[in-house]
DNA sequence: ACACTTTCTGTGAACGTGCACAGAAGGCGA
DNA sequence: TCGCCTTCTGTGCACGTTCACAGAAAGTGT
């Protein structure tokens, strides 16, 4: 109780009321911008607030109103990927922007361990937030189950199959993967493989499915490797494996730009040129894509818009509006650059 | 009020007490792990909790106890840098880890606009958190002033001069900059410049000061450029300017690895080799450093430990313990690789 | 002068918890 | 039997708001 000891006592609405010679009801109305407050009362209250240094106690307000005007953004990522994944940051910022417009506070919660999971479930149940946006949940994510159980308004970024009845925003990973693979094939490649990643997430498995779609009869299981993370290192290891398996490979679809970057480095080290000997395409259109030499052909996904849409949707849910559709799919765009 | 309408009503401590045939006082004691609860009562309460599906209402608990067991991490960064800066993520994870150990919830708040600043100040005053860690505050940051005014226990990562009496953890940017510059000079460079950044932050200005220290009489103002952000683009623009000013420049200290990466790309495009024609060193030891060709000589700063220390410190403050020293400086390490 | 609306104000009762206090029940020694 | 300690339990109040309601004050039309 250090805070209580050192500071005298926070001014309450009672203090303001006494100072302004009105009742706390009037002060409350004024604070909440309700009508029916006289000009004279308004003036007196304003002065009183300034004088006693009053600020609302949100805990009390929450208790009385049963809402908090805060929305959680839950990020479930192993450490290394959180640092490398360019989408999460953009989603975060997009969500924050939209919530800010609605005067809601974004509260970002990180799941780094099982212990975090349990504590965060308590936090969500505790009434600290009115809703939640979940980023990068995987199939059968405990936190997703907890949210469903609590009944907290929630929107997923992405669409895990294990939570089919939850609201979501996302992109059509499968179609996009198909299209970018076709673009790669259109450059005349004969032996095309994929470095897949994160098959435990919908984005990962759908990208693989799209690749398969595009390859049709030419699909060769032997030319597909997969790794847990969308990381540069996955690209490095994956490319090494593929080169061992098929030295004549001439096309690579990497599950993300970071993966592609790793793969490209290995190709270079092995003396192969890009796009001369091997064509390579990625996914995300993150800054990895621009930093590659040559720059990467990839799929642009509107990460910031995903965040914005998720925020809009959760605001609707919180306000009792049922969204027209349970999910929203945002368009992606093929970006052709020099790598294929 | 959608939530109230759709869901029946949350179980309270009263419901548990009634179900277990004890008083709410006993339930409360049990919940808080206090002694003096009989085994029979304990059993009955446990069963009752499970039966009615009770969870604590944190808002009410906050109101009664005047604490929240949550700590804010406030990030003040323009969008682009938030995405590029490798340190912030690591600090975030370090802080989360330490707080998690103490069973505190980390709540991450993003300042993206002035509007955010004001709302966050309200949030902090509102009793939602017991303390705060502030990352990348700049001089005369409004949120820093607000925190000081509120009297909320707070720890800065970094040490703005405009907030001298706040607690902080950080590194000795000046000494580290001096040392890495000396390492660069030791490779025999004659015309050495600096691409500085973020001079409105203590880290930025101190790195420049350290560079100046190392250069001594050889310091040439004409070979220093500065930019607002620690970004790759700053490196690109800065390097172009320096090459125009002095085509014979043969050494560069970049204010961060990202800046160095941009500079290196420009050097390559201009036909200069690294480290043959120009030696270059950076700061951070982020993954930028490893992705450069050649890899970057740089200063390793323990970003995750900074987060952990900041968390430990704010926990001390919250618990009424005055830290031994107002600030803590963590050691850095020079990493020599191929770029100089 | 009267009823009637509109504008404004004050009050009691929640919201769900923790804490201090009073007191009950049981064991124990004199 | 009495007093005393230890263990356990129940109750009133505080925390600082919002909300519903009752009612005062002021204006409006007849």
B27-32 long-range CB contacts below 8 Å, 24 or more apart?
B31/B56
In a domain, B8, yes or no: yes
- On the CB side of B33, CA atoms within 13 Å amount to 0
Place of tokens 């290891």: A237
Say whether both A227 and A186 belong to one domain.
yes
3-state SS, residue A226: strand
Residue B62 counted as domain residue? no
Does B86 contact A83 at a Cβ distance shorter than 8 Å? yes
What is the pLDDT confidence band of residue B1, given thresholds at 50, 70 and 90? very low
Q: Are residues A17 and A82 in the same domain?
A: no
pLDDT at A288: 84
pLDDT value at B17 more than 70: yes
Tokens standing for residue B286: 């982020």
Tell whether A232 lies on the interface with B, counting CB pairs under 8 A: yes
| B36 domain residue, yes or no | yes
Has residue B153 got a pLDDT over 80?
A: yes
Query: Which pair of structure tokens corresponds to residue A320?
Result: 């009792």
Tokens of B242: 């320096």
A95 in the same domain as A165: yes
The reply to whether B286 falls in a domain is yes
Query: What is residue B55's predicted lDDT score, i.e. its pLDDT?
Result: 85
Judge if the beta carbon of B256 is closer than 7 A to nucleic acid strand D. Answer: no
Q: Are residues B10 and B100 in the same domain?
A: no
Closest CA to B202 of B72, B323, B336, B327: B327
Q: What pLDDT was estimated at residue B122?
A: 81
CATH number of the domain enclosing B188: 3.40.50.2300
Domain that holds residue A213: 173-300
Helix (H, G, I), strand (E, B), or coil: what is residue A192? strand
Burial of A289 (0-12, 13-18, 19+ CB in 10 A): buried
Q: Which two tokens stand for residue A183?
A: 């673009």
Judgement on whether residues A165 and A179 belong to the same structural domain of the protein: no
Same domain assignment for residues A165 and A107: yes
Residue B71, token pair as written in the block:
């700590």
Chain B (22-51) residues lying within 8 Å, Cβ to Cβ, of chain A: none
Helix (H, G, I), strand (E, B) or coil at A169: strand
Give how far Cα B153 sits from Cα of A54, A58, B100, B170, Å: 19, 18, 18, 17
Q: What is the pLDDT of residue B2?
A: 30
Looking at residue A33, what is its pLDDT? 85
Q: Does any strand C atom come closer than 7 Å to the Cβ of B67?
A: no
The answer to the question of residue B218 being in a domain is yes
Q: Are residues B10 and B123 in the same domain?
A: no
**Mean predicted confidence (pLDDT) in B300-316:** 94
Q: What is the CATH number of the domain that holds A35?
A: 1.10.260.40
Residue B287 shares a structural domain with residue B324: no
- A216 to chain B, minimum CA–CA distance in Å? 35
Question: Where among A56, A78, A95 does a domain terminate?
Answer: A56
B227-230 long-range contacts (CB < 8 A, ≥24 apart) are B227/B195, B227/B196, B227/B197, B227/B198, B227/B259, B228/B197, B228/B198, B228/B200, B229/B78, B229/B80, B229/B81, B229/B197, B229/B198, B230/B81, B230/B84, B230/B85, B230/B197, B230/B198, B230/B204, B230/B255, B230/B256, B230/B258, B230/B259
How crowded is the C-beta side of A139, counted as CA atoms within 13 Å? 11
CA of A26 to C1' of C5 (A): 22
A339 domain residue, yes or no: no
Check whether residue A80 and residue A101 sit in a common domain.
yes
The 3-state DSSP composition of chain A as helix, strand, coil percent (nearest 5) reads 50, 15, 35
Q: What is the three-class DSSP state of B195?
A: strand
Provide the positions of strand D that have an atom within 7 A of a protein CB.
7-12, 14-21
Q: How far apart are CA A107 and CA A96, in angstroms?
A: 9
Q: Is residue B107 part of a domain?
A: yes
Nucleotide nearest to A17 (CA to C1'): C10
Domain assignment present for residue A257? The answer is yes
Rounded to whole angstroms, how far apart are CA atoms B159 and A36? Answer: 48
The torsion of the CA quartet B168, B171, B173, B178, rounded to 10 degrees, works out to 150
Query: Is A105's CB within 8 Å of B86's CB?
Result: no
Distance from CA of A63 to the nearest CA of B (A): 6
CB hemisphere CA count around A232 (13 angstroms):
21
Do B121 and B204 belong together in one domain? no
pLDDT at A1: 29
Q: What is the pLDDT of residues B159-210, one digit of tens each?
A: 877 777 789 999 999 999 999 999 999 999 999 999 999 998 889 999 999 9
- What are the backbone dihedrals phi and psi of residue A22, each rounded to the nearest 5 degrees, phi first? -130, 180
Question: From the CA of A51, how many Å to the nearest CA of chain B?
Answer: 15
Choose the closest CB to B112 out of A90, A96, A110: A96
pLDDT digits (tens, 9 = 90+) for B108-152: 888 888 888 888 888 888 778 999 999 877 777 888 888 887 788
Give yes or no: residues B51 and B20 share one domain: yes
pLDDT score of B5 more than 90: no
Cβ separation of A59 and B287 shorter than 8 Å? Answer: no
What is the β-pairing status of strands A333-335 and A298-300?
A: antiparallel
To which H or E segment does residue B73 belong? strand B70-76
Peptide bond into B40 cis (omega under 30): no
Taking only the tens place, the pLDDT of each residue in B40-74 is 888 999 999 988 888 888 888 888 888 888 999 99
Q: What is the number of structural domains in chain B? A: 3
Per-position pLDDT tens, chain A of length 340: 233 333 456 789 999 999 899 999 999 999 988 888 888 889 999 999 988 888 888 888 888 888 888 999 998 866 655 666 778 888 988 999 999 888 888 988 888 887 888 888 888 887 789 999 998 777 778 888 888 877 889 999 988 777 777 899 999 999 999 999 999 999 999 999 999 999 988 899 999 999 999 999 999 999 999 999 888 889 999 999 999 999 999 999 999 999 999 999 999 989 999 999 999 999 999 888 987 889 999 999 999 999 999 999 999 998 888 888 889 999 999 999 999 8
- From the CA of B15 to the C1' of D6: give the distance in Å: 30
pLDDT at B323: 85
Name the token pair of B90. Answer: 């690591």
User: Over the Cα atoms of chain B, what is R_g?
Assistant: 26
Question: What was the pLDDT predicted at B281?
Answer: 97
- What was the pLDDT predicted at A150? 79
CA distance B213 to chain A (A): 33
Contacts of residue A122 in chain B, CB cutoff 8 Å?
A: 55-56, 58
Residues A51 and A155 in one domain: no
Distance in angstroms (rounded) separating the CA atoms of residues B21 and A76? 41
Asked if residues A71 and A93 have their Cβ atoms less than 8 Å apart, the reply is no
């Amino acid at each position: 109780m250090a805070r209580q000891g050192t500071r005298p006592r926070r001014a309450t609405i009672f203090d303001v009321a006494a100072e302004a010679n009105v009742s706390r009801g009037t002060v409350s109305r004024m604070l909440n911008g309700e009508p029916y407050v006289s000009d004279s009362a308004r003036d007196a209250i304003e002065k009183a607030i300034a004088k006693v240094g009053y600020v609302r106690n949100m805990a009390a307000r929450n208790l009385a109103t049963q809402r908090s005007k805060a929305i959680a953004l839950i990020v479930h990522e192993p450490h290394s990927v959180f640092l490398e994944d360019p989408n999460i940051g953009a989603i975060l910022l997009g969500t924050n922007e939209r919530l800010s417009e609605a005067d809601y506070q974004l509260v970002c919660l990180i799941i780094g361990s099982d212990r975090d999971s349990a504590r965060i479930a308590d936090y969500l149940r505790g009434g600290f937030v009115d809703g939640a946006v979940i980023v990068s949940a995987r199939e059968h994510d405990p936190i997703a189950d907890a949210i469903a159980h609590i009944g907290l308004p929630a929107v997923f970024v992405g669409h895990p199959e294990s939570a089919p009845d939850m609201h979501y925003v996302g992109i059509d990973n499968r179609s996009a993967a198909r299209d970018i693979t076709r673009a790669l094939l259109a450059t005349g490649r004969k032996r095309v493989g994929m470095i897949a990643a994160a098959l435990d997430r919908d984005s990962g498995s759908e990208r693989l499915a799209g690749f398969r779609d595009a390859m049709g009869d030419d699909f060769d299981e032997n030319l597909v490797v997969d790794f847990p993370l969308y990381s540069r290192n996955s690209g490095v290891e994956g490319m090494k494996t593929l080169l061992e398996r098929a030295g004549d490979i001439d096309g690579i679809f990497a599950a993300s730009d970071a993966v592609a970057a790793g793969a490209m480095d290995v190709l270079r080290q092995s003396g192969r040129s890009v796009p001369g000997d091997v064509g390579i395409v990625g996914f995300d259109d993150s800054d990895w894509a621009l930093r590659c030499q040559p720059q990467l052909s990839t799929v642009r996904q509107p990460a910031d818009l995903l965040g914005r849409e998720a925020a809009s949707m959760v605001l609707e849910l919180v306000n009792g509006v049922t969204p027209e559709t349970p999910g929203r799919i945002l368009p992606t765009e093929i970006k052709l650059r020099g790598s294929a």
